[in-house]
């Protein structure tokens, strides 16, 4: 463990959380083992892992059967299953939450992705989830959509911990940060405490490179050999935009926490809303499997990794302090270059498409999970 880079990353101010949760991980003791041997200090759940777990093993069967006998609907059975797992995971991480003063040890659960464009219903579901799970160290995941930002602000104002997800553009990150600030300001104005409220802003990475790289490949197919300089510039951008985007967002993060508005809240006990790097498994086999770890280490950040990337990181990550701030000016220039005539990639369009695709990518596994529960219920229902 002494040579595990993850423990060194923690010394540099970044927490490593795992992006995977199911009941078998909890009951087998593997989750506790990951905490001890891999240094993970938080976890995010997602419907995709739950759907796989429900379909492929019997660990949930008895509870599904009990739900059937109790006359519960599919959605009620789903919530009973996931709430139990989230509570148990929260209890496992509670010592980390206490030892870190409420900075780490969080477990995230998302509201239905079908509510991404519905502010009021998102708020209602966030309230219900937070109360039902009843753990100080639970995060409710709310998407960073136009409709999600007021829901985030409202949830924070009510004392609900929020993991803001589906952030792609720097602008959307800034919106999420100010939604957090406004929520805290509303609580202060109402005479309510803010010192126990936490939030992270989950900034997605690999999906950006995948989409931009695809656009670059399309441009490369259209240009001829007489445009070698243009080709070289395009190729140089491949696999570079997501990290540049994250580095620029981190500079905005620093500006916000140094603002007078946040400093006033900090005097009242406000916690910093940390930036969380998400979608960190490398999709292109030509790229390093730890590139989104190595390049984005820095204070007040979280990196949430799937299990395979955690193992890769523990084996061969090349870590150094505060890499997220290296070549910040170059990162800004990289983003600005996208709109130049020889690149012709519309940054705003790419980010808008990623949000819409992200909602769909969240909704599909959620629907698959509900179908898996229905199918399992049919298998367990006596004829």
- Active-site residues: which are they? 141
Helix (H, G, I), strand (E, B) or coil at 300: coil
**Rounded CA separation 130/8 (Å):** 33
Mean pLDDT of 203-226: 87
User: Smallest Cα–Cα separation from 199: which of 181, 224, 220, 174?
Assistant: 181
Q: What percentage of the chain has pLDDT greater than the value 90?
A: 84
- Which residues make beta-bridge pairs with 163? 141, 200
Q: Report the pLDDT value the prediction gives residue 50, as an integer from 0 to 100.
A: 82
pLDDT surpasses 80 at 310: yes
Structure tokens at 245: 């985007």
Q: Report the pLDDT value the prediction gives residue 2, as an integer from 0 to 100.
A: 56
Question: How does pLDDT run across 243-289, given as a tens digit for each residue?
Answer: 999 999 999 999 999 999 999 999 999 999 999 999 999 999 999 99
H/E segment holding residue 253? helix 241-257
Q: Report the pLDDT value the prediction gives residue 375, as an integer from 0 to 100.
A: 87
Q: Report the pLDDT value the prediction gives residue 49, as an integer from 0 to 100.
A: 82
pLDDT surpasses 70 at 134: yes
| Contact assessment for residue 143 and residue 115, using Cβ atoms and an 8 Å cutoff | no
| Contact assessment for residue 177 and residue 201, using Cβ atoms and an 8 Å cutoff | yes
Integer distance in angstroms from the first to the last C-alpha of the chain? 53
Mean pLDDT of 111-137: 97
Q: Report the pLDDT value the prediction gives residue 247, as an integer from 0 to 100.
A: 98
Distance of CA 304 to CAs 17, 177, 213, 260, Å? 4, 19, 23, 30
Helices (H), 228-346: 228-237, 241-257, 260-267, 291-294, 307-316, 328-337
| Contact assessment for residue 246 and residue 296, using Cβ atoms and an 8 Å cutoff | yes
**Rounded CA separation 42/15 (Å):** 8
Domains of the chain (ranges; CATH) run 5-207+241-327+350-380 (3.20.20.70)
Question: How does pLDDT run across 49-91, given as a tens digit for each residue?
Answer: 888 888 777 899 999 999 999 999 999 999 999 999 999 999 9
**Rounded CA separation 306/295 (Å):** 17
**Rounded CA separation 163/141 (Å):** 5
Q: Report the pLDDT value the prediction gives residue 87, as an integer from 0 to 100.
A: 98
Q: Report the pLDDT value the prediction gives residue 155, as an integer from 0 to 100.
A: 98
Residue carrying structure tokens 């190595």: 294
More confident residue, 48 or 194: 194
- Which residues make beta-bridge pairs with 142? 164
pLDDT surpasses 80 at 36: yes
Q: How confident is the model at residue 227 (pLDDT cuts 50, 70, 90)?
A: low
């Amino acid at each position: 463990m002494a040579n595990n880079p993850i423990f060194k990353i923690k010394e540099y101010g970044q927490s490593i959380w795992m992006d995977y949760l199911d009941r078998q991980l909890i009951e087998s003791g593997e989750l506790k083992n990951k905490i001890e041997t891999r240094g993970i200090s938080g976890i995010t759940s997602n419907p995709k892992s739950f759907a796989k777990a429900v379909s492929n093993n019997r660990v949930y069967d008895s509870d599904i059967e009990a739900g059937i006998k109790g006359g519960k609907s599919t959605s009620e059975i789903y919530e009973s299953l996931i709430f139990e797992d989230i509570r148990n995971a929260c209890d496992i991480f509670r010592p980390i939450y206490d030892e870190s003063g409420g900075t780490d040890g969080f477990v995230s659960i998302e509201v239905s992705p079908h509510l991404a464009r519905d502010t009021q219903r998102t708020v209602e579901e966030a309230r219900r989830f937070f109360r039902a799970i009843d753990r100080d160290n639970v995060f409710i995941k709310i998407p960073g959509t136009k409709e999600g930002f007021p829901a985030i602000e409202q949830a924070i104002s009510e004392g609900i911990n929020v993991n803001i997800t589906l952030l792609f553009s720097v602008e959307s990150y800034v919106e999420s940060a100010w939604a957090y600030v406004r929520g805290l300001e509303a609580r202060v104005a109402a005479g309510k405490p803010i010192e126990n409220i936490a939030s992270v802003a989950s900034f997605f990475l690999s999906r950006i490179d995948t989409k931009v790289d695809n656009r670059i490949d399309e441009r490369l197919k259209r240009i001829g050999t007489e445009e070698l300089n243009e080709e070289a510039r395009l190729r140089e951008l491949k696999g570079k935009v997501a990290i540049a985007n994250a580095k620029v967002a981190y500079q905005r993060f620093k500006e916000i926490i140094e603002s007078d508005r946040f400093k006033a809240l900090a005097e009242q006990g406000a916690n910093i809303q940390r930036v969380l790097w998400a979608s960190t498994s490398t999709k292109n086999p030509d790229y390093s499997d730890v590139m989104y770890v190595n390049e984005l280490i820095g204070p007040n950040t979280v990196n949430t990794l799937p299990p395979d990337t955690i193992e890769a990181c523990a084996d061969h990550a090349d870590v150094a302090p505060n890499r997220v701030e290296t070549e910040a000016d170059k990162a800004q220039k990289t983003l600005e270059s996208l709109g130049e005539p020889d690149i012709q990639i519309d940054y705003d369009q790419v980010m808008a498409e990623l949000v819409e695709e992200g909602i769909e990518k969240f909704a599909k596994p959620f629907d698959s999970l509900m179908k898996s529960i229905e199918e399992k219920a049919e298998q367990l229902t006596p004829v």
